[in-house]
Structure formats: structure tokens, C-alpha cells
């Protein structure tokens, strides 16, 4: 009885909010504790790129499509940065089992992204991410303008096209 009451109210609530589409946009990033590779705590709210676009990619060392995606981006990352000024944050959701493998892996592979650790998936949960890989694109104001789940070869080309659009001031649908 109480459950159905709660559920009814929830539906009412979401129903009333659906009308206002902008409530579904991430205007700012949630403030969640992350760790950098030196073990220092930082906040997800500090993710920024001096007014230029930001890509946030959720991944893990054991996730094959994630590693394929980041490898594909790594191959062209220098060119991307030079052309568009974009910055990629790779958020590793590796837990205690494999979080100490993250730094050796990214250095071993020669990736130049900023990598942050989310060992109990707090940021992943706050961003409502389910299966990984999951990629967010933020505009210079830090608003999420696009997101995508899974990876297929060629997705990285679409991503950089969207970054170029942002830089031209075009709207992303």
C-alpha cells in the first residue's frame, strides 16, 4: 500500500517535470570525490578545460570495448587537441581488484588523457551510467550536451565532429 503510494507520487512528480525538458540536462557536474593516480582526492565538479569542450569517458581496464575506444582516440588525440583544444577525462571504475593496474596500463599504452579513479562507482552512479563504455561531451560552460553508450569502430570520428560543431557554436541535438 505504502509502496504503491510512493510510486504513484513518483509518477506524478516525473510527469510534472517531464513538461520542463531542461531539467534533464546536466547543467553542472555532480560533486563527487575521485582520486587521481597519485592517490590525491579531487572533486568531479572540478573537471574543466578553461572554456573549451571536455569529453568524459567511463571505462575500466577489464572492459575490452572501453580499451578499444580509448586506444582509437589515443591514436589521434594529439591532432584533436591541436585542432580543437578538447580535453578528455578517462574515469576508471576499476575497483580494488584492478585500480592499481590503471596507471601502469595507461602509461604502458602511452595514453595522454587525464585519468581519475572512481573505485566504488560513486561518480558513475551520480552520472546515471549503466553499462560502460559511456561517453559524455561537455561544452565550454561545463554543460553536458551529448552522451553515448557502447563503442563501435568509427564512433570516435562522430565524437570529434561534435566537438568541432561545438567550437563553431552550433547546437547539438
Partner 1 sequence: MKNTRYFLSALIVSSLLFIQPLRAQDFLKGSEVHGSMQVDAAYYLPDSKMGITDSTLDGKLIRMNGFTEVNYSLGNFTAGLRFEAYLPPMIGYDAQLNGVGVPYFYVNYKNDFIDVTAGNFYEQFGNGLMLRTYQEWTLGYDNSLRGIRVKLTPYKGITLKGVYGVQRYYWEPYKDYNRGIVKGFDADFYLNDMFNCMKDSKVKLTLGGTFVSNYQQGTTKDVVSNNKIYQLNMPVNVANYGGRFNLDIGGFNWFAEYARKINDPAALNQYIYKNGDGLFTSLSYSRKGIGVSVMSKWIDNMSYKSDRTISNNMLNINYLPSITKEHTYALASMYPYSTQPNGEAGISGTVTVHIPKNSKPGGKSGMTIAVNFSQVNGIDKKAINDTTPIGELGTLGYKTSFLSVGKEVYYQDANVEITKKFGKKWKGIFTYLYQTYNKDVIEGHANDYGTVYSQIGIVDLTWNITKKHSLRWEVQGLWTKQDKGNWAAALMEYTVSPNWFISVMDQWNYGNKDAGQQLHYYLVSAGYTRKTTRVALSWGRQREGIICVGGVCRYVPATNGVTLTLTSSF
Query: Phi and psi (nearest 5°) for 129?
Result: -90, 130
E-strand ranges in 44-94 read: 54-59, 87-92
- Residue 17 sits in the site that holds partner 1 (CB under 8 A): yes
- Residue 10 sits in the site that holds partner 1 (CB under 8 A): yes
- Residue 64 sits in the site that holds partner 1 (CB under 8 A): yes
Residues forming beta bridges with residue 136, ordered by sequence position: 56, 147
Closest to partner 1 by CB, 17 vs 51, is: 17
- Residue 13 sits in the site that holds partner 1 (CB under 8 A): yes
**CB proximity list for 157: less than 8 A, separation 6 or greater:** none
Instruction: List the one residue from 49, 52, 85, 105 that touches partner 1 (CB under 8 A).
Output: 105
- Among 4-12, 49-57, 81-89, 163-171, which window interacts with partner 1 (CB under 8 A)? 4-12
- Residue 171 sits in the site that holds partner 1 (CB under 8 A): no
**CB proximity list for 117: less than 8 A, separation 6 or greater:** 34, 35, 36, 37, 91, 92, 94, 99, 102
**Does residue 168 sit in helix, strand or coil?**
coil
Residues in touch with partner 1 (CB under 8 A): 2-3, 5-7, 9-10, 12-14, 16-17, 20, 23-27, 30-31, 33, 37-41, 62-64, 68, 71, 95-98, 100-101, 103-110, 119-122, 125-131, 134, 146-150, 152-155, 157-158
Amino acid at each position: 500500500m505504502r509502496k504503491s503510494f510512493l510510486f504513484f507520487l513518483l509518477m506524478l512528480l516525473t510527469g510534472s517535470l517531464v513538461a520542463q525538458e531542461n531539467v534533464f540536462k546536466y547543467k553542472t557536474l555532480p560533486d563527487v570525490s575521485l582520486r587521481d593516480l597519485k592517490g590525491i582526492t579531487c572533486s568531479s565538479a572540478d573537471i574543466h578545460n578553461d572554456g573549451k569542450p571536455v569529453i568524459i569517458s567511463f571505462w575500466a581496464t577489464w572492459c575490452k570495448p572501453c580499451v578499444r575506444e580509448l586506444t582509437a582516440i589515443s591514436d589521434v588525440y594529439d591532432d584533436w587537441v591541436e585542432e580543437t583544444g578538447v580535453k578528455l577525462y578517462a574515469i576508471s571504475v576499476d575497483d580494488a581488484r584492478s585500480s592499481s593496474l590503471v596507471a601502469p596500463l595507461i602509461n604502458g599504452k602511452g595514453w595522454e588523457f587525464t585519468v581519475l579513479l572512481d573505485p566504488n562507482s560513486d561518480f558513475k552512479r551520480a552520472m546515471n551510467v549503466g553499462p560502460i563504455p559511456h561517453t559524455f561531451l561537455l561544452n565550454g560552460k561545463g554543460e553536458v550536451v551529448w552522451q553515448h553508450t557502447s563503442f563501435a569502430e568509427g564512433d570516435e570520428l562522430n565524437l570529434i565532429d561534435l566537438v568541432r560543431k561545438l567550437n563553431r557554436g552550433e547546437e547539438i541535438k
